[in-house]
A and B are shown apart, each in its own frame.
Chain A
Amino acid sequence: MNSFVIADPGLCIGCHTCEVACVAAHSANNMFLQQEENPDFYPRLRVTETDQVTAPVQCRHCEDAPCANVCPNGSITNNSSSISINQDTCIGCKTCMLVCPYGAIAMVPASRDGQRQIQAGLRSNASGVWARKERLVASKCDLCDESGNGPECVRICPTHALQLVVPGNVTESIAAKRTASAQTLQQFGGLIRF
């Protein structure tokens, strides 16, 4: 089974530190030193705010990931314990983004070694003139797999609102709740007369 990161809205204070940490962990450029007016800032989790609640939302690494099951060229696969997008082969069809029930996928410019990737063939007149188009690819939480240090968002959150759930946690949590509910019934079961 896969691991995933989940937030406790009761603890989240909406500070967006997790988003910053996510960008820092995944970007080759230091966002604080970038000169551009619009520096690259494409976090893979998004703090969502409503009148009542704030909480970051990101990929749940579903066992039967709908994103992967609609990807037309096998760019989304299951690694040892996460669902992973291969941005090098992503064709930017956006189907995964549309199908994700959590809204956990976004389209972002592709970059390599800090440089935006420009396509060899496809030209676009979006900027007013015909020009070779930048690659746009699907992006989502990868549990900071490559760093080996675990998810940066979890590590950085000042209120510990985020936690990494590993498969063992799920099984243990279910088992513990089962035992607890059995114990409750055993204790108070005498009141429930058949």
Chain B
Amino acid sequence: MNHVHSNSLVIAEAAKCIGCKACELACFAVHNRDNGVGSTVGTVTMPVVPRLYVIRTDSFTMPVQCRQCENAPCAGACPVQAIRQKDGVIAIDADACIGCKACALACPFGAISLYKAYSGGAELPQPLLQERRDSKLQRKTRIIAYKCDLCRDIEMPGAAAGELGASGRDSSVTAVQGREPFPACVAVCPEDALRLVKVGSGNPLSQHREGMTCDVIQ
């Protein structure tokens, strides 16, 4: 039988989530080291721009993020091919994005947000585009699409085997192996409400689940 390899994804369990937003904060922290974000809150000079979003309703709370769709509608809608599947992750090339919002509207999960772009902790201006602000023309800040990249190219601090401080759980399930992604949201959740799901990775759990997951999510 031919083995079809699907993208991994992070998914949350509403029954466990307590709404603490630690996942959002961790997501922001690890993605913005180039913006000067260090280990403490005082190093932050920009708004917190997460790539997953804790939703609260009257009856429950849980984070929502990208499912790394195999036929990603966001990528289909992108007029400049700034969204591609790279090493098993549907990734946005921030430099190529033109801020047209088509991907954000195309995503059925609401997993894409548009925020200002930052460089070195400061707002990144457009090359030339000016906007009218306070009745004069001033250089506009770039606005780009952001989404979950499974922390693919990010080293999670304090996440080596046995060092998971947040929930103190067994780290063997999600320990970093070579270039396997280790999402920060999963690492910091104090309630173990987030999981990285590897579809068809040889993990008995995921094999058992493969068909079911597809049914449910479709």
The reply to whether chain A is a binding partner of chain B is: yes
Flag if A177 contacts B109 (CB, 8 Å): yes
Interface residues of A in 148-194 (CB under 8 A from B): 165, 170, 173-183, 185-186, 188-194
A68 at the interface (CB under 8 A from B): yes
A108 CB to closest chain B CB (Å) equals 22
On whether A70 and B64 interact (CB within 8 A), knowing A63-B114, A179-B55, the answer reads: no
Interface residues in B113-167 by Cβ distance below 8 A to A read 113-114, 117, 126-132, 137, 140, 142-144
Q: Determine the distance from Cα of A165 to Cα of B100 in the docked complex, in whole angstroms.
A: 12
Chain A: which residue is nearest B79 at the CB level?
A101
**Interface extent on B, as a size class?**
35 or more
Please give, as numbers and ranges, the residues of chain A lying within 8 Å of B12 by CB-CB distance: 185
Q: Is the CB of B144 within 8 A of A64?
A: yes
The complex places the Cα of A62 from the Cα of B97 at a distance, in Å, of 10
| Complex-state Cα separation, A183 to B60, whole angstroms | 9
Contact B80 A101, beta carbon cutoff 8 Å: yes
Interface 9-mer from B21-29, B36-44, B83-91, B208-216:
B208-216
B109:A77 contact, CB within 8 angstroms: no
The verdict on A140 contacting chain B, using a C-beta distance below 8 Å, is: no
Choose one: B14, B110, B144; the contact of A178 (CB below 8 Å).
Answer: B110
Inter-chain contact B109/A78, CB cutoff 8 Å:
no
B108 at the A/B interface (Cβ < 8 Å)? Answer: yes
Residue on B with the closest CB to A64? B99
State whether the Cβ of A135 lies closer than 8 Å to any Cβ in chain B.
no
For B128, give its contact among A71, A183, A188 (CB under 8 Å).
Answer: A71
Determine if A174 and B110 form an interchain contact, defined as CB atoms under 8 angstroms apart.
yes
Interface flag for A80 (CB, 8 Å): yes
The answer, yes or no, to whether A66 is at the interface (CB within 8 Å) is yes
A residues 81-125 touching B (CB-CB < 8 Å)? 83, 101-102
The answer to whether A65 touches B98, judged by C-beta atoms less than 8 angstroms apart, is: yes
Query: Provided the pairs A181-B109, A192-B11 are in contact, do residues A64 and B209 lie with their beta carbons within 8 angstroms?
Result: no
Contacts of B126 in A (CB 8 A): 64, 68-69
